[in-house]
Structure 1
């Protein structure tokens, strides 16, 4: 056990767990994300010993697979209770709540929520949810077809994190220890030989900015095998990943034909993975909608204006030369044509140069202590609601009056994200040294926005590569 392992276990005795590269071998054939797996392992563990019989029994009884025959069991009159991914939809015309469970074949229109359950305020949330659902089959009465009725639902929220305790815990770590701690929480080994410097580790942590900062929009291009898909698909139930395929405005924002919100208003962040393979049925319409949303955090549906705090991150592969540098110096040419609109690109706050990140190797897999993924994701989600970090950033920065607003907003938002991740315990500008703030918050944020501006200047004469002369106060 390393010194960091001992510290994590001592400071977070209930929230931490020991993780090994093969810890998920119990879940062979079971399609659930890391936050579910961690919760189950913790539930059936005692002093790091796993009750394998109890774990396997729970999985068999409550986590369905393709071979579970849930539909047949419902038709046979069984009352089914499972832990699953459920999508709730409200039907304005009928006044009913409907649900679907895609992983077991219960489609839209085949599931209804009981009227009693639907009336319980705050229980059901539009869109995707994880939870324990109890349902039964309702026989057709001649007027309508049979359907699965949900009679009980318990949302999967096993932790209500004590944010203040988390912040106080930060004070017991050095900056370097805390950076390593966060990498552990991402399920990677901070002591891997693949990590060459603190700057590289900070670049790795940059992927978490969209988890903690609302309405933050990023682009990451990286070679294959650097783990970007895993992070955005497994660390939080509050994010949604789109992997290739066709995207419509209705799917992203709001489906007026079904009166249901799309992906963006339903989640905290949306990652567009394998972005080269994504297409749009109406590119100009998507461009216009994204420009408005990314600028204002709102979108129009009919005569109504709706808002969302979800950020976007584009994830794509990029080809490198023998020196591990991009073959094409115009990075945005790697994006789909719909995302090559210059005004749209300008609305992205920062660019992550993923070719500086290590490829995932066996040595990079965590074998030590970290926070339970579900607990960590709840902490990250809660941090999004804390707006005082942005106020601290503004107090720490000296911004010229003629500074470009988009550049300024981008730097402030990314600085705020870094501050939330690295210094969650600060409550005023006096709580952090200007030197440290500049090194691990301001400089990385400034550089990532600068890449956006440099790339725009290279392809459009309307833009220059000059960034505002923003300074950190208290430094000469």
Structure 2
């Protein structure tokens, strides 16, 4: 009986050894396949007849990355049938299906499906799998394994998430060889054994052998050599196919935005946000395309979870992952009051303080969310960071962002945007990106360009980080040209300026310097970089408006400066006056009444032949930037009433500043610099200023003041003449 048991055990051990050998053979082949001789630098090759032909991107990838690539439509087919991370599926597909021939792919797919069927454990079949291990003695499974040290027993114990085993004994050697098991866990092919005897103090389950489902090693020289065989466009297309997108159906701008989503994977402590419509795949790359990133869903989190747990003295997510991405920014909530402050400290320096300790981490922070309104509306009436929760609407917080990817320029995902061609297997791409975190290309700008004088220190840091990240992705071997740096630098200036434009709206004149530029070291020519959504969004339309239509800047009821429009209509009547657009705000209506009363009492000084008593006037008020009702609309009311009565329009693109009392006293502008900045952003080219504000002109940046044709007025009647262009 004992001999029979020994034979059975020997057979089981031989069976396990054979299974291990089978896997190792495939992995060995997988590693050695990439040692294929590279094709020559010119990309075209000779056919049998001696003719030159260009190499297709798929063929180029097969030659340069054999064993490291997979057809992405195969991943989609398997993903629909098994709830396994993409990098697990692609590891198996890379082992069995990296050939181009259909019959070999079909055979490989059968093998992968067989492995998943026999070895992948669904959570609802956990007890069946445990029973199988007990009956067979050993069984190979695919599962996520996390290891902890049980200090009471002085052993390592593994938790297998799907199968539900919490305390499988793990040999010390396996833990030493795979330290990732101790930091959040990894997916593995595990041989689990079962042995039980009465009175034993450890679990009957133990890990006999373990192979991580990831690249066993990363040879960056292999990537550098391969990169030399690709053009820039080919390399971009290959990266996009590797994350599952089909570049043939994407325009140039969209490609760059998708590449920009990958910068946090190659840059340490890179902070970026992307807001846009639903369905544009904002969170896809952070959830599916790397085992080194974590997508935080649900919004609510704690300082202990994210940064540092004081009681257990363990670092949080920022110390365990390369990228921490927050899905749906509108729902972000910290249970701790100091959560956002700690996040600000971390985003600025890569370190934070908890208790007596100052702790450093390398994780990049990504914020993705939805914009419910049109971008044109937000640009005109608010700012493009409005979807963030109120607690985070803070200029100091947003100033830590290195870039803002315009999600509204990325189309909603449709089937044709997903590729069915070859791409790098996800884990190989992830390891390549992780290796690039160890180097920096931030000094690349200095070799060819200087940054303009509108960039402050944080702007410079953001632009250098983005440029470095793009070059790491696109030119990993470091052999970049001046034009390579120029195109990356231009994109980096744009995404940082997008942040600065919003800061200007949130924080005022402190952030007025948004005219980002770079200077060519050779020619000394200066190039300015704009953000597309700012163009053509003027609230003040070009051309001469109808009589009675006027724009002015004033502080609103909420204490925020804003741009307003007054539209006045005149109909036959008996001198009555009415208003609309103010709601029930009596203070705002009173200001309009002050202007109209001054108009009635001083009409003979302005247009002696006109008779207001034969007309009725209706003034409609429009709050163009949701700033709340204006309580200083008296001068605007006077000028608009004179304009419509005299049938003379206001000067083209003019904004009126200042207010008056019923007795005709002119009040100076409270915040001249910010008021002129808002007028400039609204599209004004002329501004009407009270003489009383002349002493405040030095507070206005020269870049702003010189954009206007300025007219000064000394009293209300003078203001009417200047506004209507009457001598």
Give the TM-score of the pair, scaled to structure 2. 0.58
- The reply to whether residue 456 of structure 1 matches residue 500 of structure 2 is no
Check 1:27–1:399 CA distance in 2 against 1; reply closer, same or farther (3 A cut).
closer
Structure 1: 5+ residue runs without aligned partners? none
Specify which of 453, 457, 472 is matched with residue 420 of structure 1: 472
Q: Which moved more, 1:62-71 or 1:347-356?
A: 62-71
> Following TM superposition, by how much is the alpha carbon of 1:92 offset from its aligned partner in structure 2, in angstroms?
6.9
Asked whether the 8 Å contact 1:138–1:147 carries over to 2, the reply is yes
> Following TM superposition, by how much is the alpha carbon of 1:64 offset from its aligned partner in structure 2, in angstroms?
1.4
The match for 2:146 is 87
Check 1:13–1:403 CA distance in 2 against 1; reply closer, same or farther (3 A cut).
same
CA deviations 1:281-326 (Å, max 9, x no partner) are 12x3211211121112123344333221110100111124397987
> Following TM superposition, by how much is the alpha carbon of 1:159 offset from its aligned partner in structure 2, in angstroms?
4.6
SS of the aligned residue for 2:261 comes to helix
Asked whether the 8 Å contact 1:244–1:275 carries over to 2, the reply is no
Counterpart Cα distance in 2 of 1:145 and 1:442 = 59
> Following TM superposition, by how much is the alpha carbon of 1:154 offset from its aligned partner in structure 2, in angstroms?
2.8
Check 1:451–1:112 CA distance in 2 against 1; reply closer, same or farther (3 A cut).
farther
Asked whether the 8 Å contact 1:346–1:456 carries over to 2, the reply is yes
Check 1:344–1:135 CA distance in 2 against 1; reply closer, same or farther (3 A cut).
farther
The match for 1:266 is 320
Counterpart Cα distance in 1 of 2:308 and 2:132 = 32
Equivalences for 1:44-63 in 2 at 5 Å?
44-45=96-97, 46=99, 47-48=101-102, 49-51=105-107, 52-63=109-120
The match for 2:260 is 206
SS of the aligned residue for 1:424 comes to coil
Equivalences for 1:3-152 in 2 at 5 Å?
3-20=56-73, 23-45=75-97, 46=99, 47-48=101-102, 49-51=105-107, 52-70=109-127, 72-73=130-131, 76=134, 78-90=137-149, 97-106=156-165, 110=167, 113-115=170-172, 117-118=174-175, 122=179, 124-135=181-192, 149-152=206-209
Asked whether the 8 Å contact 2:75–2:90 carries over to 1, the reply is no
Q: Which moved more, 1:149-158 or 1:441-450?
A: 149-158
> Following TM superposition, by how much is the alpha carbon of 1:182 offset from its aligned partner in structure 2, in angstroms?
1.6
Check 1:42–1:408 CA distance in 2 against 1; reply closer, same or farther (3 A cut).
same
Counterpart Cα distance in 1 of 2:115 and 2:275 = 40
Asked whether the 8 Å contact 1:86–1:99 carries over to 2, the reply is yes
Counterpart Cα distance in 1 of 2:328 and 2:289 = 18
- The reply to whether residue 437 of structure 1 matches residue 485 of structure 2 is yes
SS of the aligned residue for 1:374 comes to helix
Counterpart Cα distance in 2 of 1:36 and 1:99 = 19
Counterpart Cα distance in 2 of 1:390 and 1:50 = 45
CA deviations 1:205-232 (Å, max 9, x no partner) are 1101111111101001121111122211
- The reply to whether residue 173 of structure 1 matches residue 204 of structure 2 is no
> Following TM superposition, by how much is the alpha carbon of 1:424 offset from its aligned partner in structure 2, in angstroms?
1.7
CA deviations 1:24-58 (Å, max 9, x no partner) are 32344422122111121222335442324322221
CA deviations 1:357-397 (Å, max 9, x no partner) are 1111111110212222221111111111123x223334444
Structure 2: 5+ residue runs without aligned partners? 1-53, 526-727
Structure having the higher Rg: 2
Check 1:455–1:446 CA distance in 2 against 1; reply closer, same or farther (3 A cut).
same
Check 1:29–1:14 CA distance in 2 against 1; reply closer, same or farther (3 A cut).
closer
Counterpart Cα distance in 1 of 2:152 and 2:456 = 47
CA deviations 1:326-352 (Å, max 9, x no partner) are 796422220123432321211111101
Counterpart Cα distance in 1 of 2:520 and 2:399 = 24
> Following TM superposition, by how much is the alpha carbon of 1:274 offset from its aligned partner in structure 2, in angstroms?
1.9
SS of the aligned residue for 1:331 comes to coil
**Paired residues, number:** 463
Asked whether the 8 Å contact 2:126–2:164 carries over to 1, the reply is no
The match for 1:313 is 366
The match for 2:461 is 409
The match for 1:354 is 407
Asked whether the 8 Å contact 1:89–1:260 carries over to 2, the reply is no
CA deviations 1:241-284 (Å, max 9, x no partner) are 111242011111223334433211001111111222332212x3
- The reply to whether residue 330 of structure 1 matches residue 383 of structure 2 is yes
SS of the aligned residue for 1:184 comes to helix
The match for 2:522 is 474
The match for 2:21 is none
Asked whether the 8 Å contact 1:319–1:327 carries over to 2, the reply is no
Asked whether the 8 Å contact 2:352–2:358 carries over to 1, the reply is yes
> Following TM superposition, by how much is the alpha carbon of 1:236 offset from its aligned partner in structure 2, in angstroms?
0.6
Counterpart Cα distance in 2 of 1:318 and 1:8 = 38
Check 1:307–1:76 CA distance in 2 against 1; reply closer, same or farther (3 A cut).
same
> Following TM superposition, by how much is the alpha carbon of 1:118 offset from its aligned partner in structure 2, in angstroms?
4.4
SS of the aligned residue for 2:477 comes to coil
The Cα RMSD (Å) is 3.2
CA deviations 1:105-139 (Å, max 9, x no partner) are 446xx555445644668474422322233445687
Counterpart Cα distance in 2 of 1:173 and 1:121 = 34
- The reply to whether residue 345 of structure 1 matches residue 403 of structure 2 is no
Specify which of 383, 398, 402 is matched with residue 436 of structure 2: 383
> Following TM superposition, by how much is the alpha carbon of 1:179 offset from its aligned partner in structure 2, in angstroms?
1.8
Counterpart Cα distance in 2 of 1:183 and 1:103 = 32
SS of the aligned residue for 1:50 comes to helix
> Following TM superposition, by how much is the alpha carbon of 1:149 offset from its aligned partner in structure 2, in angstroms?
4.5
Q: Which moved more, 1:462-471 or 1:10-19?
A: 462-471
Counterpart Cα distance in 2 of 1:363 and 1:268 = 31
Asked whether the 8 Å contact 2:69–2:424 carries over to 1, the reply is yes
Q: Which moved more, 1:201-210 or 1:157-166?
A: 157-166
Check 1:113–1:13 CA distance in 2 against 1; reply closer, same or farther (3 A cut).
closer
Counterpart Cα distance in 1 of 2:62 and 2:91 = 16
> Following TM superposition, by how much is the alpha carbon of 1:449 offset from its aligned partner in structure 2, in angstroms?
0.7
Asked whether the 8 Å contact 1:91–1:258 carries over to 2, the reply is no
